[in-house]
Structure 1
Amino acid sequence: MKKTATRPSLRETAAAEIVPARFSADVAPAERNDDLGHRLKRARTDKGLTLKEVSERSGVARSTLSKIENGQMSPTYDVLQKITRGVDLDIVELFDQRRQSAPFGRRSVTRNGEGKPHPTDTYDYEVLATDLSQKHILPFKARIRARSLDDFPGWVRHEGEEFLCVLSGTVRVFTEFYAPVTLEVGDSTYFDSKMGHAIVSLSKEDAEVIWICTGISALS
């Protein structure tokens, strides 16, 4: 009798030196984020788009979009990027409605702890420099809550490139095409965001990192 093949778990595949591209990130339920959901809904309705149209443009399920808009689900970064591209919106506008029209000679200062929070099940983001729109990078600090690859529904992947530097604690960086690597305080990594990736904390306390992503305003 023919055996039915079973798909290996994310933990099993990531343990190999080269991990097959099998997974795509989804949305993880988290704390309510009504403000973000309302802004997404307002951006969609202002452009006269239906949930079905945004779903077709972004590739995010209509039911998921509805839950996010109603504050019942907090989107992971890659999903949020898909949605903002689907509604032709600068992702930074979701976190701060102030805009600076001048594209030259700009500066932004974010005091410690004053970034815009965006919690998810795996990471607690603090988005920085939210008063500047049309940026080519998105900087943020993140507290790494995840302790295992089992905490993720699948690989995280999106457009652009990323730089990550550890501020406190120890993290392990899992990527599709490379062996997992452990980073201590002061260590950093740079990688292609389209390559599946996931970061977990190895510390007793949540590790903290500074994270920079490209491909934000340029894609919206």
Structure 2
Amino acid sequence: MSDEPFFLKEEKEKLGLQRGNGQTEATLEPLQLGKRVKEIRLSQNLTLEEASKLTGLARSTLSKIENEQISPTFSAVNKLVKGLGIDIPQLFSQPRRGAGAGGRRDITRGGEGLPHPTPTYEHELLATQLSTKKMIPYRTTVRARTFDEYTDWVRHDGEEFLFVLRGSLLLYTEFYEPLELFAGDSAYYDCEMGHALVSTSEEDAEVIWVTA
């Protein structure tokens, strides 16, 4: 008897990955579901805490799923799908082997990005039609006015580039003194290091962020 969860088998059938569809199970690469969950979370610029609130799964549970320490139950999969706003095939889809990205393109018209508000930021996610991106671009209005509005440092995987479009702000980073940036200024930093932005101009500052 196979130990494969029934929901995984069902989705593989939908994607034509079972025997009898021109491809045998022996030729499939193992599905790293945790890696896929993390990839989707980062593509939406969500911290573990934010994803936990959206999905109703504990932060520790999400972390264990992403690090392949546990396999999600059917109930957890449903929560992930609903909370992250995706469908099940997206969660179980495999990148095409040898598929190049040289011809990909995604256009986001002004004001047509995917909104993702938080208590301190109002994000507009850009290039949301592309999956498995190497960079995550987004435009953000900084609502926070004091560092005290953050319950903790913002941290996530990767490196980040910040460009100030308008207004002025304080860039707080864990190992450096706060630095005021103005329109046209930019910064590049490791985003595993705690960081946060606070608007200092009369109007909320607006920035472009690119996370890699």
Q: How would you bin the TM-score normalised by the shorter chain?
A: 0.5 to 0.7
Amino acid paired to 2:141:
R
Deviations 1:32-89 (A, max 9, x none): xxxxxxxxxxxxx9669xxxxx8xx98968xx83x4226xxxxxxxx9x96994689x
Q: Which consecutive unaligned segments of at least 5 residues does structure 1 have? A: 1-44, 49-53, 71-78, 89-93, 215-220
1:189 equivalent in alignment to 2:175: no
What SS is found at the alignment partner of 2:105?
coil
Change (3 A) 1:60 1:173: closer
**Structure 2 counterpart of 1:132:** 130
For residue 68 of structure 1, the aligned residue among 54, 74, 80 is: 54
Aligned match of 1:203: 201
Equivalent residue letter for 1:209? V
Gaps of 5+ in 2: 1-5, 10-33, 39-46, 73-83
**CA–CA separation in structure 2 for the residues paired with 1:104 and 1:84:** 31
**Secondary structure in structure 2 of the residue aligned to 1:150:** helix
Alpha-carbon distance between aligned partners in 1 of 2:121 and 2:63, rounded to the nearest angstrom: 18
1:157 counterpart residue number = 155
- Write the deviation string for residues 142-173 of structure 1: whole angstroms up to 9, x where unpaired: 00000111000011111100000001110110
Residue type of the alignment partner of 1:183: L
Q: Name the larger-Rg structure.
A: 2
The equivalences for 1:19-38 within 5 A come to none
- Give distance in 2, aligned partners of 1:189 and 1:46: 44
SS state at 1:198 partner: strand
Q: Pick from 142, 145, 165: which aligns with 2:143?
A: 145
Asked if the contact 1:95–1:116 (Cα under 8 Å) also holds between the matched residues in 2, the reply is: no
What is the TM-score normalised by the length of structure 2? 0.58
1:114 to 1:172, Cα distance in 2 relative to 1, 3 A? same
**2:103 aligns to what?**
105
Contact map agreement 1:168 1:185 (CA 8 A) in 2: yes
Identity of aligned residues (%): 45
SS at match of 2:132: coil
Q: 1:13-43: CA deviations, max 9, x gaps?
A: xxxxxxxxxxxxxxxxxxxxxxxxxxxxxxx
Letter paired with 1:185: A
